[in-house]
Structure 1
Amino acid sequence: MAESTSRSAGARVGETLQDFWATRPARPRGKIAGVAEALGRRYGVDPVLLRILFVVGAFYGGAGLAVYLLGWLLLPKETPEGRRPTPVFTALLVIGSLFLLMFWVMQLQGLVGLSIAFLGLYLLHRNYRDRPKATAAEPQGAVPVTEKTWVYPGAKAPVQPLTDTGLDVRQNPPSWDPLAAAPFAWDLPEPQESEPEPEPERPRRRWITLLTLGIAAFAGGITISAGTPLGFTFALALGIIGAGLVVGAFLHGGRGLIGAAIPVAGLAMVFAVAPVGSGPWGEIDESPETPAQLAPEYRAAVGDVQLNLEGMALSTGQEARTRVSVDIGNISVYVPRTADVTVDCAAGQGLTNCLGRERNGDRIRNHVVDTGEDGPGGGTIVLDLRAGTGNVEVFRD
């Protein structure tokens, strides 16, 4: 029973995918790509909403940009002669862009974004596959061939198309001319007054916006409390908002999420370029006097860290060890004059000056061993200093 159910589900999925490919829309003329416009026309969705989803998805591991390029490549182009495949030069350019983009997309965030995008397209087609395609409107003033044309007695044949039965000569004036004052116009049809039907008001589904923002805030709070980087937190919130926009497109709601998606996407992009963790913000200034007072780790998301170890008393064979990490900011450490110091200095962008050995640039690292002015012996200090963007400096007084 379960096997037959799984087979039927798989068959339905396969039929949906085949129908999606067979009825894929053509990209309209007058636009460079027109992917959002084509999908909007096909499924009756606002193209502006689709464009926003593509932009939001681009910050989510590049998934939105990858799906847009795939649409550009696979959807045919609308031309005066009919549907035409994507030109060879354009196809090669898009394929090259997709190849370079895969190095960015093939990460956790990008794979999750691609999964959400493909699932959204699948549900969109599954629910709206039968929406009628737009047809060309009949020219105004055209008279159908089946319509009877009325003329008054003795009038010449009209220029409108005639029916197979010929002319039907009206003997009595129409209702709009009871006094027969205009017999030359008796061939005009009877007036029909029809009031346009008011469009039904769609219910406002504000709960989609509120529920989506609540889920995004809850998920963001969990990731922050778990110590994940802020870049991942905002990317996760952006993905949840994007899913809410997809659901809102089906249920005709959730437009309030558009205003929330823009700042969240901007923050996700900022923290993707300059990663900032979930550590504290602000200055850290510590002066431990014994190895027991030295914390095993000092961490700051944004801010400077200053560690003064000059007054630390170290006995022979005693070791003091710590790690200092800053995402955006500077690290300054002052060590005793006679201590044996082993230090690893690293900076993503900035400068390292560790006990007189200076380097600057991108992704720089220094490993320095310095025994002080009295040579080897005495206590040892081991430092691991890392800054994402900023300077790392170690001084000996």
Structure 2
Amino acid sequence: MNSTQQSGGVDATLRDFWATRPVRPRSGSKAAGVSAAIARRYGVDPILVRVAFVVLACYGGAGIVLYMLGWLLFPKEAPPLPGQTTPSREPTATWIVVVLVLLLFPSLMWMISSMAVLGLAAGPVALYLLHRNQGDRQVTGTSNPPPQATPTGENTWVYPGAAAEPQTPPAWDPLGAAPFAWDLPEPSEPEPPEPRSRRYRWFNPVALLAAFLAAVVVAGSGAGGAPAAAAGLGVLGAAMVIGAFLHVGRWPILFAVPLAMFALIASFADEYRFNGDLSVGDLRVAPIETTDVLSSYDRTAGTVELDLSDLRISTGQVVETTANVGAGKVLIRVPSTVDVTAHCDAEVGELTCLGRHANGQDLQRSVTDEGPDGLGGGKLVLNAAVGTGNVEVVRD
């Protein structure tokens, strides 16, 4: 750890990070070079950094936003300036900055949820801790390593046939001859070192077992597949971060990638109510008798149009039904003189609930309308919800 980090606190660490922040390399990158820059700056495996971005992307897309921020803030490696031998830095191109800013603003607005905020916070915290422990490490893997200095002066000699590489003879020559006068055999190759026994052999099996137990415990509590997968993925993520410092194997990656995909699909299914059989398409019904009204009308994606305007409902009778759509539209028409209590819900989209209008995220409205004839007669209790899309409950 460098002296700045030892003597200062968070503020000193942040200043040191900004002054020595990772530089996106000209070669060896898969996309914009953000993962390669972090890996080269702190001496970790770039695969681990890429996996970390993929895992964070499962938290409401936080990994994608963090990658764009790295693309925006980390400079690009440039060819050496005239008279210099080391690579220089150049800022991100202006047109890329404009595109990234235009993408970041709506992305941040879209990600206002607890899961996404958790992912956005985890990335900078992990990078801060990495710099806190590895910030004094010298950058390796530059495209243009500095050349070796060439000795200069009067007392120089050159091997025959090697005029471009002058060398300085030893200060004391007991035989009175330069080394090129001796026809000595070439030195033999040194014996390869004995292979060291691999340390921390227990780490990967223990990490996989801990991830499995975490998933089993969460699943056993009845939380569902998505939270169970997220718990196992969190343990694997922590194991990969620790393993990067211990230089152990990459076994957790083989399990983390498919587990991340499963967690993403499961969370998407839970969020948008993809329960039971997958149903896609439009559903339009217009029941006349109350016995024809089902307790629930569901679609994974599409439209549920429930026309109750001609429903024959007697005085004092209460009819309740639910309409759910994962992505699409719910439209319910109610009779002109029936008392209606409507509960409208849209996670992302727009709703019109008996004259009450709203749009945005996490929308919930509960409206009771007794109709033009006032209280009395039959009553409808409606629950209308979409994950993404529109909800409309209108009086005919």
The interval holding the TM-score normalised by the smaller chain is 0.5 to 0.7
- Which of 249, 255, 258 lines up with 1:260 in the alignment? 255
CA distance in 2, matches of 1:202, 1:149: 48
Query: Partners in 2 of 1:320 and 1:370 — Cα distance?
Result: 15
Larger Rg: 1
- Partners of 1:164 and 1:10 in 2: CA distance: 44
Q: 1:143 to 1:197 in 2, by over 3 A?
A: farther
What displacement does 1:50 show? 0.8
Task: Summarize the alignment of residues 285-304 of structure 1 with structure 2, pairs less than 5 Å apart.
Answer: none
Q: Amino acid of the residue matched to residue 26 of structure 1?
A: V
- Tell me whether 253-262 or 58-67 shows the greater mean CA deviation: 253-262
In structure 1, what is the equivalent of residue 33 of structure 2?
34
Change (3 A) 1:170 1:202: farther
Map 1:313-392 → 2, pairs under 5 A: 317-319=316-318, 321=320, 323=322, 342=340, 380=379, 382-386=381-385
Q: Give % identity.
A: 36
The equivalent of 1:120 in structure 2 is 126
Q: Which whole-Å CA distance do the structure 2 matches of 1:208 and 1:78 have between them?
A: 37
CA 1:164 to 1:265, structure 2 compared with 1: closer, same or farther past 3 Å? closer
For the Cα contact (< 8 Å) 2:24–2:74, is it kept in 1? yes
Question: CA offsets per residue over residues 306-327 of structure 1, 9 Å max, x none?
Answer: xxxxxxxx99535454656575
1: distance between equivalents of 2:120 and 2:55? Answer: 12
**TM-fit CA distance, 1:37:** 0.9
Structure 2 partner of 1:16: 13
Q: Show CA shifts across 1:267-310 (max 9, x none).
A: 34435655457897369xxxxxx99xx99x8798989xxxxxxx
Give, as a single letter, the amino acid of the residue that structure 2 aligns with 1:120. A
C-alpha deviation, 1:248, in angstroms: 2.8
Match of 2:167 in 1: 161
- The secondary structure found in structure 2 opposite 1:224 is coil
For 1:196 and 1:244, locate their aligned partners in 2 and report how far apart those are by CA, in whole Å: 32
Number of residue equivalences: 328
Distance 1:267 1:190 in 2: 59
Selected match of 1:84 from 55, 66, 89: 89
Change (3 A) 1:123 1:189: farther
Two-structure CA RMSD over aligned residues (Å): 5.6
The equivalent of 1:62 in structure 2 is 61
TM-score w.r.t. the length of structure 1 is 0.60
The one-letter code sitting in structure 1 at the alignment partner of 2:108 is M
Q: How far off is 1:65 after superposition?
A: 1.6
Letter in 1 for 2:25: P
Cα 1:122/1:50, change in 2 over 3 Å = same
- State the distance in 2 between where 1:116 and 1:157 align: 59
2:319–2:380 CA contact under 8 A, matched in 1: yes
Q: Aligned to 2:116, what secondary structure does the other structure show? A: helix
Q: Which of these residues, 98, 111, 136, is aligned with residue 105 of structure 1?
A: 111
Deviations 1:204-249 (A, max 9, x none): 3121232134324434554726xxxx66665565455433332332
Q: Is the 8 A contact 2:23 2:76 kept in 1?
A: yes
Offset of residue 28 of structure 1: 0.8
* TM-aligned CA distance change 1:20 to 1:262, over 3 Å: same
Alignment CA distance shift 1:327-1:237 (3 Å):
farther
* Residue type at the aligned position of 2:192: P
Indicate the residue corresponding to 1:352 in structure 2: none
Question: Within 2, Cα distance between the matches of 1:328 and 1:97?
Answer: 23
Q: Any gaps of 5 or more consecutive residues in structure 2?
A: 82-86, 279-289, 302-312, 331-337, 349-362, 392-396
**2:158–2:167 contact (8 Å) kept in structure 1:** no
SS across alignment from 2:139: coil
TM-score for both structures, normalised by structure 2: 0.60
Q: State the one-letter code of the partner of 1:77.
A: K
Distance in 1 (alpha carbons) for counterparts of 2:368 and 2:132: 63
